[in-house]
Chains A and B, each alone.
Chain A
Amino acid sequence: MNRVGLGIKVGFYIVLSIGAITMIIPFLWMVFTSIKQPHEVFSATGAIKFLPEHFFWRDTVINGEKIRAWWGNYPDAWREINFFRLYLSSIFVAVVGTFGQVLTSSMAAYAFARLSFPGRDKLFFGYLATMMIPSSVTMIPVFVIMKHLGWINTYQALIIPGLFSAYGTFMLRQFFMGLPVELEDAAKIDGSGYIGIWSGIILPLAKPALATLTTFTFMGFWGSYMWPLVVTVTEAPRTLPIGLRYFVGQHATNYTQLMAASVIALIPVLLLFVFNQRYFVEGIKLQGLKG
């Protein structure tokens, strides 16, 4: 590699490193804040305190002031809200919702990509058009439907309206259209039906796209705030984002516990991303190429 090439490469890495550091700083702030004492979150001297002043493994008293152990905010946050229940609710809603949405989206996408029926493209266009309607517009009608179904404050209300996604259908349809038709023809000759082709040919070939959609959908369900807030009236079926709301008062926020709770809440999404990373990145690349 000549000097110019090396220089460009170094410059490229410097820019990428700056970008990476910029992205990771808020995340690190969250982690460090979760192990601080409440008065350390903000500074009165004009400097942003990034690292905690104290770092003790046990609760310690200094000058008559009790300093909590670094991990103390975690059990406090866990106790402050019904974390266990909220966590289970979030996992249940996100897993079932994601599974359901990926299932319906892949079926719909297969139909729009491969099956020939009158009005298919118009129907697809109409389906896509629903993406243009803001969710706040449909909130009251959907809420009224939930009420008539007797689903207010139930898991059905949290999951079922989110099972159908024009975005997921669109994304998978574009991917499916790029798959070779010959494979399906061969399967048809072997006697496979639509379900067989969808499950035996299309889905195994679409792992990157499915992983991408799974990650996005899971994140969507996991972080959803307004709909679960509107459709629930007691604590029992609520999910974590609403639980985090309990740390934000009208005028004061319990930042240390909020950040501790946020770190705990982040773990499943992080794990999902780590497991899906290989497919996810490939999926993004393919989506980018095939548009």
Chain B
Amino acid sequence: MEYESKLSRLISILGIAFGALATISIGVYLVATINPRIPGKTVIRWVVDPNPIRKEQIKLFESKYRNIHVINDPGAEPQRLLTQLAGGVPPDVMALYNPQTIRLFAKNDVLLDLRPYVKKYKLPIEKLYPGLKPYIYYENKIVGVPENCGPYVLFYNKRMFREAGIPYPKPDWTWDECLEVAKKLTKYQVVGGRKVPIQKGIYVGTHDWWFFIWMYGGHLYSPDGKRCIMNDEKVKKGIRFWADLRLKHHVTPTPSEAQSMAPTGGWGTDALLFRESKVAMMVSGRWLCIQYREQKDLEWDVTSVPHGPNRVTLLASKCYSIPKTSRHRHEALIFIKHLLSKENQLLVANYGDGIPTLQDPEIEKAFAYNPKYPNERNNLLHIQEMKYARVSESSPYINVLDQDAIMAREFDKMWLGEQSPDKTCDEIARQINAVIRRNLANPNFLD
């Protein structure tokens, strides 16, 4: 007994000693190799999502500029960027994912104004799509360069259209035509005496308000951004149509229907519902192509988002900016220049999660047809839609988080049937204008 106890203690002591030795050895190895030196090279940090294309982009860049090494640093979360910028450890090039974030950083004077460098580094700003201005300019400064972009289009399930005997939609179709098609593609089954949706015609999310605000030519803000004009009759008419899609015609799933139809809820429910053939149509962007192209049993194509009297769609992009405090400004500028180079833009075209932003016939041709994906015959549509694409509206006098919170809260009431679409528009306008008035009166307001 005593022998066993001693043995057990010995084993414990040996185990602890081994664990401690192993941990110390690992620590010594890790600390010794934490900063491998790259002699003769300047290292710059590119904070951006880790898409598979990044490796190729960096390889291409480093083959051209052998004295610069680029680190693809994932995690462009604003919280991280703000902490690092505030702490004086800025990245050299960082991705900013919407005009509101760009404005927030620019307003706080964090971003390098690229105007003095446009000529010196031959940045082809004038060759970028005109609709991308909110991703490039803040006031009259050039604060970022977008590398790819995507207007929202309509994805449709070809098999579901074919089985219902409905011709595929044409790019110039209207919301009224879309509604009629969606009605035919909505199906129910009776379970325990209850009608349960098994398929809906179209997925339009509870946050997809822009299409309907703009549908009849309305706007969220007056041109100077000092007044919310959501209560305008043109906006109300569009919002009434949006509400009817779900509440009157039942062609688009309610949030609870979407949750019950999708295997997982939350963000990305629309993409999953479409992927699983639970909705026949869905409004989204080019980026979903790279997911759906791998889904061999899904037959899909794209056409333009239906329109009202006003043909318009939403534009998404991101820009790359250089913090003023970057320690490698010259190298960062070279890198930015490279991102807009023809070679890099061809890589973007080939990867295909967005349209390359440089307007160039050769790049457009490469984007329009990728021999690796011969079924994607409609790629040109994405480029053609750029004519109608615009970025979401915002006002410099209200933080976009406050704006979205007000809109989401009031629209939720509409979806719950607690208030009419007209009243919802009135309420949103009233509340946003109240915040704008308060912020205009506050000299220290900084978004």
Same assembly: yes
Q: Interface residues, chain A, CB within 8 Å of chain B?
A: 38-39, 42-46, 48, 85, 88-89, 91-92, 95-96, 136, 139-140, 143-144, 146-147, 152-155, 226, 229-230, 233-237, 242, 245-246, 248-252, 254
B382, CB-defined interface residue at 8 Å: no
Tell me whether B297 and A44 are in contact (CB under 8 A): yes
Q: What 3 A-B pairs are tightest by C-beta distance, nearest first?
A: A251-B287, A250-B49, A44-B298
Query: Could you say which of B83, B277, B278 contacts A230, with CB atoms under 8 Å apart?
Result: B83
Tell me whether A143 and B23 are in contact (CB under 8 A): no
Tell me whether B277 and A155 are in contact (CB under 8 A): no
Contact flags B332-367 to A (C-beta < 8 A → 1, else 0): 000000000000000000000100000000000000
Shortest CB distance A242–B (Å): 7
Q: Which chain A residue lies CB-closest to B291? A: A252
A–B Cβ pairs within 8 angstroms, 27 of them: A42-B272, A44-B297, A46-B278, A92-B30, A95-B19, A143-B83, A143-B84, A226-B77, A226-B79, A229-B80, A230-B79, A233-B45, A233-B84, A233-B91, A234-B35, A236-B30, A236-B36, A237-B30, A245-B50, A245-B74, A249-B353, A250-B49, A250-B51, A250-B353, A251-B51, A251-B291, A252-B287
Beyond A96-B27, A229-B77, 4 additional pairs, beta carbon < 8 A: A143-B83, A143-B89, A230-B83, A252-B287
Query: Could you say which of A46, A91, A95, A139 contacts B79, with CB atoms under 8 Å apart?
Result: A139
B1, CB-defined interface residue at 8 Å: no
Tell me whether B83 and A139 are in contact (CB under 8 A): yes
Please indicate the chain B residues that have their CB under 8 angstroms from the CB of A46 in the complex. 198, 276-278
Known: A143-B87, A251-B290, A251-B291. A237 touches B34 (CB 8 A): yes
Tell me whether B75 and A89 are in contact (CB under 8 A): no
Query: Could you say which of B26, B71, B86, B87 contacts A92, with CB atoms under 8 Å apart?
Result: B26
B3, CB-defined interface residue at 8 Å: no
Please indicate the chain B residues that have their CB under 8 angstroms from the CB of A252 in the complex. 51, 287, 290-291, 353
Known: A42-B295, A147-B89, A236-B35. A249 touches B83 (CB 8 A): no
Tell me whether A249 and B50 are in contact (CB under 8 A): yes
Query: Could you say which of B51, B79, B277 contacts A44, with CB atoms under 8 Å apart?
Result: B277
Please indicate the chain B residues that have their CB under 8 angstroms from the CB of A235 in the complex. 71
Contact flags B50-72 to A (C-beta < 8 A → 1, else 0): 11100000000000000000010
Please indicate the chain B residues that have their CB under 8 angstroms from the CB of A91 in the complex. 23, 26
Q: How far is the CA of A92 from the CA of B31 in the complex (A)?
A: 11
Please indicate the chain A residues that have their CB under 8 angstroms from the CB of B74 in the complex. 242, 245-246
Q: How far is the CA of A160 from the CA of B34 in the complex (A)?
A: 17
Known: A42-B272, A251-B353. A96 touches B23 (CB 8 A): yes
Tell me whether A140 and B87 are in contact (CB under 8 A): yes
Query: Could you say which of A88, A146, A152 contacts B30, with CB atoms under 8 Å apart?
Result: A88
Q: Which chain A residue lies CB-closest to B49? A: A250
B33, CB-defined interface residue at 8 Å: yes
B39, CB-defined interface residue at 8 Å: no
Q: How far is the CA of A144 from the CA of B79 in the complex (A)?
A: 14
- Chain B 275-332 interface residues, beta-carbon cutoff 8 Å to A: 275-278, 287-288, 290-291, 294-298
Q: How far is the CA of A42 from the CA of B262 in the complex (A)?
A: 11
Tell me whether B51 and A39 are in contact (CB under 8 A): no
Q: How far is the CA of A231 from the CA of B355 in the complex (A)?
A: 34
Q: How far is the CA of A96 from the CA of B91 in the complex (A)?
A: 29
Q: Which chain A residue lies CB-closest to B19? A: A95
Most B CB within 10 A of own CB, among A48, A96, A140 = A140
Known: A89-B30, A245-B50. A152 touches B89 (CB 8 A): yes
Tell me whether B86 and A143 are in contact (CB under 8 A): yes
B88, CB-defined interface residue at 8 Å: yes
B73, CB-defined interface residue at 8 Å: yes
- Chain B 7-38 interface residues, beta-carbon cutoff 8 Å to A: 19, 23, 26-27, 29-31, 33-36
Please indicate the chain B residues that have their CB under 8 angstroms from the CB of A48 in the complex. 263
Q: How far is the CA of A117 from the CA of B82 in the complex (A)?
A: 42
Shortest CB distance B54–A (Å): 9
Q: Which chain A residue lies CB-closest to B299? A: A44
Shortest CB distance A77–B (Å): 13
Shortest CB distance A139–B (Å): 5
Shortest CB distance A235–B (Å): 7
Q: Which chain A residue lies CB-closest to B74? A: A245
Query: Could you say which of A44, A85, A147, A246 contacts B50, with CB atoms under 8 Å apart?
Result: A246
Please indicate the chain B residues that have their CB under 8 angstroms from the CB of A88 in the complex. 26, 29-30
Most B CB within 10 A of own CB, among A38, A139, A140, A251 = A251
Shortest CB distance A146–B (Å): 8
Shortest CB distance B235–A (Å): 30
Shortest CB distance A290–B (Å): 27
Q: Which chain B residue lies CB-closest to A154? A: B34
Shortest CB distance A157–B (Å): 11
Please indicate the chain A residues that have their CB under 8 angstroms from the CB of B263 in the complex. 48
Q: Which chain B residue lies CB-closest to A235? A: B71
Most A CB within 10 A of own CB, among B23, B30, B86, B272 = B30
